[in-house]
């Protein structure tokens, strides 16, 4: 049952103030408003709805029995990475360095090969028959999973399904049908709301901490569906997979990562929102896996410079860098340079928002995309495909020496036709040299990048690039949009004009 806020009646507040001789301003949860009755000034207390409970004990007493400690055994011979970090993040990546996952093994992370080690995390029951939620990185690649309940009893659990993209996992404990469980919150929390985290930090089990919601919609670089709730409740290694509750005892998120230069809590923790967890868990329970809608495009954010160059009033939406051949978007007529501004009438804030919106829609569903193209708004309908589990990597190599190319001073780049550079194909102009003090370097150009378009026009020689830049400047544009292939990806770069 939700914990109700305690509200002191006006009469009681006045009595306490009179007896104790305290200032009305010291009475918690009440505003004292002066009112005149005849010639006498009388204090009338109006108790406002409390924004926090007087204490958290009643909430904890109800929810703590549903929180479990999760222990896993992993063969370090080939599978330690599942516990050392986010499986989607390579070693020494920015994500790995800055956001330390906290379901790490008890023993040294760099354990000898072919040795079984035990890792610890947290979780919580969501049904009386033993279904429980934890993090994917806690149970991924586990050879055995054991849970310990709040009363000290241990049970063997099996993994029903995992979703690495959101770091959510569903496990099942057999043998009982009366496990205490908790429910997900129906509404997202507000910034400033009180929250309570319960988990298994450092293997201590059943530890309760409290704080507030610090922010929402955080992108921490874990993946395209990042939408984390940031909280300041102290959480540490071992809290992974544990729940964060609101003051009504409902789960508002699942703790998954911390920002920690030292490895311990510094008051910045991240939780997966309850709405995301519910959606993922529902699919894992029904199918053992998660399927997501797929448009088939490479996308990137719309920067103010890009918005200015294509005539958008606001830097919003998702810029299509490259439609995948034979993908849903390409078949529907979406082309590189289009900006997707809405899905079924819902505005798209940025590239990450588009990924979340499309990913939440079932494959096969027909959607309506609103697109900004060359100063006009267009609408396209398409049936979503299914997001592939793995994407084929297309690697091109260029081991041969490249010509020096022709210099373009405005960019600080030396360019050569792609056909003259081994391994670069036949389209576009290859960057053969980058001036470290030039505009191109400032915008991230690297040797080997291929410029495909400038200002919406295809280029095949350094002269084409110069001509396109000069035309854009004559038209009074402050920046020009360049379509660039860099390695395996294609992107747009907005280059400011006016530099010599």
Q: List the catalytic residues.
A: 137, 167, 240
> Encoding tokens for residue 210?
């409290």
Q: Which two tokens mark 343?
A: 């899905």
Distance CA 172, CA 38 (A): 70
Q: What's the CA gap between 103 and 145, in Å, rounded?
A: 13
Largest CA distance in the chain: 98
What is the spatial distance between Cα 289 and Cα 374, in angstroms, rounded to a whole number? 40
CA distances from 392 to 26, 164, 165, 420 (A): 65, 18, 17, 27
Please answer whether residues 484 and 451 qualify as being in contact, where contact means their C-beta atoms are separated by less than 8 angstroms: yes
Helix residue spans in 152-192 (DSSP H): none
Residues 6+ apart with CB under 8 A from 475: none
CA distances from 380 to 292, 328, 386 (A): 20, 11, 18
Note every long-range contact of 55-62, with CB atoms under 8 Å and residues 24 or more positions apart, other chains counting.
56/196, 56/208, 56/210, 56/247, 58/3, 59/3, 59/196, 59/245, 59/247, 59/248, 59/249, 60/196, 60/198, 60/208, 62/1, 62/3, 62/249
Cα 485 from Cα 321, distance rounded (Å)? 9
The alpha carbon dihedral of 298, 303, 307, 313 has a sign of: positive
C-alpha span between 244 and 273 (Å, rounded): 10
């Amino acid at each position: 049952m939700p914990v109700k806020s305690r509200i002191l009646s006006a009469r009681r507040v006045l009595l306490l103030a009179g007896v104790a001789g305290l200032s009305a301003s010291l009475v918690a949860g009440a505003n004292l408003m002066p009112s005149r009755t005849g010639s006498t000034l009388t204090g009338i207390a109006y108790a406002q709805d409390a924004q926090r409970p007087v204490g958290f004990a009643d909430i904890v007493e109800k929810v703590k029995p549903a929180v479990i400690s999760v222990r896993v055994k992993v063969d370090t011979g080939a599978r330690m990475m599942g516990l050392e970090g986010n499986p989607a993040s390579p070693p020494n990546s920015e994500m790995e360095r800055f956001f330390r996952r906290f379901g790490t093994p008890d023993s040294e992370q760099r354990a000898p090969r072919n040795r079984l080690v035990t890792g610890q995390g947290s979780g919580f029951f969501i049904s009386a028959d033993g279904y429980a939620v934890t993090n994917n990185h806690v149970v991924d690649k586990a050879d055995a999973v054991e849970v310990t309940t709040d009363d000290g009893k241990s049970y063997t659990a099996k993994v029903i399904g995992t979703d690495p993209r959101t770091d959510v996992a569903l496990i099942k404990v057999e043998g009982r049908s009366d496990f205490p469980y908790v429910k997900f919150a129906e509404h997202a929390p507000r910034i400033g709301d009180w929250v309570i985290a319960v988990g298994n930090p450092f293997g201590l089990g059943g530890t309760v901490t409290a704080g507030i919601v610090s922010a929402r919609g955080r992108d921490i670089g874990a993946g395209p569906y990042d939408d984390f709730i940031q909280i300041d409740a102290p959480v540490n290694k071992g809290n992974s997979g544990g729940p964060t509750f609101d003051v009504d005892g409902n789960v508002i998120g699942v703790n998954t990562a911390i920002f920690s230069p030292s490895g311990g809590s510094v008051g910045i923790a991240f939780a997966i929102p309850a709405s995301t967890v519910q959606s993922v868990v529902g699919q894992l329970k029904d199918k053992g896996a998660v399927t997501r809608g797929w448009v088939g495009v490479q996308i990137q954010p719309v920067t103010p410079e890009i918005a200015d160059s294509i005539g958008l009033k606001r830097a919003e939406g998702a810029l299509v860098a490259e439609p995948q051949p034979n993908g849903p978007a390409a078949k529907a007529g979406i082309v590189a340079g289009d900006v997707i501004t809405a899905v079924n009438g819902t505005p798209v804030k940025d590239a990450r928002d588009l990924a979340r919106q499309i990913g939440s829609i079932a494959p096969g569903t027909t959607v309506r995309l609103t697109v900004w193209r060359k100063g006009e708004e267009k609408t396209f309908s398409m049936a979503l495909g299914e997001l592939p589990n793995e994407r084929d990597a297309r690697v091109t190599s260029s081991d041969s020496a490249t010509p020096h190319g022709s210099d373009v001073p405005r960019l600080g780049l030396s360019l050569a036709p792609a056909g003259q550079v081994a391994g670069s194909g036949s389209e576009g102009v290859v960057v053969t040299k980058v001036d470290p003090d030039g505009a191109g370097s400032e915008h991230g150009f690297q040797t080997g990048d291929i410029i495909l378009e400038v200002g919406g026009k295809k280029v095949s020689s350094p002269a084409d690039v110069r001509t396109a830049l000069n035309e854009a400047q004559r038209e009074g544009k402050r920046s020009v949009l360049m379509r660039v292939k860099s390695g395996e990806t294609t992107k747009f770069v907005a280059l400011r004009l006016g530099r010599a």
